[in-house]
Amino acid sequence: MEITAKYCRKEMEDYGMCVASNPSSWQQDCHQLKVKVAHCTSSHPVIQKIRSDCSEPFSAFEQCLKLNQTSVGNCSEHISKFLACAETVKLSSLGEPIAVPHV
């Protein structure tokens, strides 16, 4: 998340504002902005490693968001599991944990 914010700040801010402004229809209304965030981050090696190693908890989080479009707070456990996974990811070239801020 920290890495996404560092390299794709504008895209993340635009997407976050859209989600906040459209609590009941953000899945549809913000889809293009979500695609822009995904495109921005897809080429970064740290993000690729986290996506690979933590795909299961991230997919569960995305599924929760789809099922709880009007009450995304219900997905806090899912995001916590994803963040916990991301904290354990190590880049083989660096051999050090990736710094992920605690929520």
Closest CA to 70 of 22, 17, 18: 22
The string of DSSP letters for 33-61 reads HHHHHHHHHTT-HHHHHHHHHTHHHHHHH
What the block records as the tokens of 19 is 């989600």
pLDDT of the residue at 1: 62
pTM, rounded to two decimals: 0.53
Read off the pLDDT of residues 40-70 as tens digits, 9 standing for 90 and up: 877 777 778 888 899 999 899 889 988 988 8
What the block records as the tokens of 99 is 């710094």
- Residues with Cβ < 8 Å from 95, sequence gap 6 or more? none
